[in-house]
Structure 1
Amino acid sequence: MSLGHALRRIIEEYPLARLDPPAGHPLASVIRKGAPEELRAALAPIDGPFLVKGSPGRGSHWAAIPWLAVFDPAITTSATRGYYLVYLFPAHREAVHLSLAQGTVAAIRNHGPAAAGAHLRASGAALKARISDFADALPNATIALGSAGELPEGYEAAHILGLTYDLPDLGDERRLHRDLAVAVAAYRALKARGGLDLPRSDGTA
């Protein structure tokens, strides 16, 4: 298996897999183990450390939007907080988004479900400006996941920048590795330039 093959499997098999319980399902194992292993292999030429996790959901429920994430442990070890790189699999099309994203659950807890989206979008715009030199290589200013709900809509709002692959794109393993390296560089640049610490509206840090 390769990174592209693992991503393709998730895209193609997830809709049907959701008809069965996730416990013991082979695709759940791919998302939790197989795909993270391929992503770690793709990250091997890049100096780490990196923590890689994949989630098909929790307990007896498949996630509306499965994900495969890369964390810098100095920033965060969880998709709930901080910022990280993540492959998100939309529900409405055969594609995958590579997103530099903010933690969604922490924003919902801190600002409430009604205000979290607006907070994340405003923060994301400021963070995008902070790493504007990556906008050409990671041109997606927004993403769509095709699923209603607090978390999918939060993931959309939490997006900073990234790109999208359709199924034919996943056959180009060199491109996937090259794009991943650029995304890691953007992740590190955001860290070096202040991370999520943004000036307040009164101009103070």
Structure 2
Amino acid sequence: MSLRDLFRQVMAIYEEEKREKLSKERRAFQLVTKAIPEKIKTLPFVEPDRYIVKGSVGQGVWTDVPWVAVMDQKVTDSTQRGYYLVYLFSEDMRRLYLTLAQGVTETPRDEMERVKKEIRQRIPARGRVQTDSAIRLGQSKRAKEYERSVAAYVVYSFDNLPPDEQLVSDLKTMMDYYRQYVETERMRSIEPSLSDRAVVEHIHSYITAKGFYYTQEEVMNLILSLKTKPFVILCGISGTGKTKIAQWLAESVGATEDNGRFTLIPVRPDWNDGSDLLGYVDIKSDFKPGPLTNVITEAENHPDKPYFVVLDEMNLARVEHYFSDVLSVMESRRWENGRMVSSRLLPKETAGRDLFLPSNVYIIGTVNMDETTHPFSKKVLDRANTIEFNRVRLDHLDFLRSLPTVAPLSGGQEWFAAR
């Protein structure tokens, strides 16, 4: 029997069977505790030596919200604690939710909110996966507790339950998010997080080891500017290392061109609109993504890692012409449900899906002010932090001597995210 048919059977008979005494012989009991878990266990991405699959309709009496959970044994072996994937049936049996939720029995309220916020920051809210608080299971106390525990979910209705292909695809997507968060938490427990001062000291040491001279205050200024706004302009005379400080900062936290987390985009004087940066629809009506769109797509898939984009000599063209869409979206960024969100950057009709500006993308523009460049409008300057580099140390000769090697650290988004 298909997974879809198993879910539909539960939703069709559960309310009627609840009127009778709970018994292991009841069809609803058999479906939720045996048939559905066994079906899920047959899926290739549900590794039997790692995941526990368990369902429940209550103990002694029927529960208002039956469930089927998939638990990573590295995290928990009980739905009373930890976080896990769980199918939750609404009290009226009209809706089924595939959720990433937490145990409500043994999890303190503040801890539950912290974990929920972290999960939502890491999961891109797109497609069928939702990260808001609009889940509605019912009016009972247990239903309300379950609602508060949910960080992300996919909703299905009884009248329009999708086929197995979609159900399995959704479960795999949520399993990937679950696995990603588990691994992130595991690495966090192994590598203690650095303080803000330690981050500055590491980045400054890394840049110095490359033979470049910047004061620690200059490095700190750049980091704080990125924390407060995702767009920073580095201006000054040619040769002061504006591009290099951005490149070495990114590399010091593990963001390189090789892994796609550092991208250098040279700006051309003939850029008149956003198509060269964001992409365009060709004569065949196919969307051709631009370099910034490619970065955004990657950043959405890895929300726990920072992505850096350098617009080199960005005022060779008029910034307010080719960058206006991005500037407007930057202004729309706001906190909702514990995560940073923005207005739409590109619509589904153009890009094939709605494209937003994720909070882990940081844009650094380098500019020279001479007769070949354009001045900035107030609109641009209002949306950016600006740092000036005009100091040149001709007597700094440390690059001539042997310099220590400083390894990059695998820095997370929390090093640069606004708090």
**TM-score normalised by the chain length of structure 1:** 0.82
> Contact between 2:93 and 2:158, CA under 8 Å: does it hold in 1?
no
The within-5 A match list for 1:125-136 is: 125-129=117-121, 131-133=122-124, 135-136=125-126
Aligned to 1:147: 139
Deviation per residue, 1:19-62 (Å, 9 max, x gap): 00111212111111111112212xx2215232110001002x00
- What is the one-letter code of the residue matched to 2:112? L
Equivalent in the alignment of 1:50 = 51
Q: The residue matched to 2:36 in structure 1 has which SS?
A: helix
Counterpart-to-counterpart distance in 1, 2:31 and 2:163: 20
Report deviation, 1:170.
2.5
Partners of 1:123 and 1:82 lie apart in 2 by: 10
Counterpart in 2 of 1:4?
Answer: 4
Secondary structure in structure 1 of the residue aligned to 2:152: strand
Structure 2 vs 1, CA of residues 47 and 99 (structure 1 numbering), >3 Å: closer, same or farther?
Answer: closer
Partner residue in 2 for 1:187: 178
Alignment-mate amino acid for residue 193 of structure 1: T
Q: Identity over the aligned pairs, expressed in percent?
A: 27
SS in 1 for 2:171: helix
Residues 1:144 and 1:128: Cα distance change in structure 2 (over 3 Å): same
Give the structure with the higher percent helix: 1
Count of matched residue pairs: 188
Structure 2: give runs of 5+ residues left out of the alignment: 197-419
Partner of 2:158: 167
**Which aligned runs of 4 or more in structure 1 are off by greater than 6 angstroms?**
none
Q: Deviations over 1:152-178 (max 9, x none)?
A: 221111101011011244241100010
- Superposed, 1:11-50 pairs within 5 Å as 11-23=11-23, 24-41=25-42, 44-46=43-45, 48=47, 49-50=50-51
Q: 1:70, 1:86 within 8 Å by CA — same for their partners in 2?
A: yes
How far the C-alpha of 1:74 sits from its partner, in A, is: 1.4
> Larger relative CO (CA 8 A, sep 6+): 1 or 2?
1
Residue number in structure 2 paired with 1:87: 87
Q: Structure 1: state its 5+ residue gaps.
A: none
Q: Which amino acid aligns with 2:41?
A: R
Per-residue CA deviations over 1:55-97 (Å, capped at 9, x if unaligned) read 01002x0011100010111111111111100000011351100
Alpha-carbon spacing, 1:13–1:29, altered in 2? closer, same or farther (3 Å): same
- The CA distance in 1 between the partners of 2:35 and 2:79, in whole Å, is 19
Separation (CA, whole Å) in 2 of partners of 1:93 and 1:2: 19
- Does the 8 Å contact 2:97/2:154 carry over to 1? yes
Alignment of 1:51-130 (within 5 A): 51-59=52-60, 61-92=61-92, 94-107=94-107, 111=108, 116=109, 120-129=112-121
Give the CA RMSD over aligned residues: 2.5
Equivalent position amino acid for 2:71 in 1? F
Structure with higher Rg: it is 2
Q: Secondary structure at the match of 1:65?
A: coil
Q: CA deviation at 1:15?
A: 0.8
Q: 2 CA distance for matches of 1:3 and 1:126? A: 31
Please give the alpha-carbon distance, in whole angstroms, between the structure 1 residues aligned to 2:19 and 2:66.
15
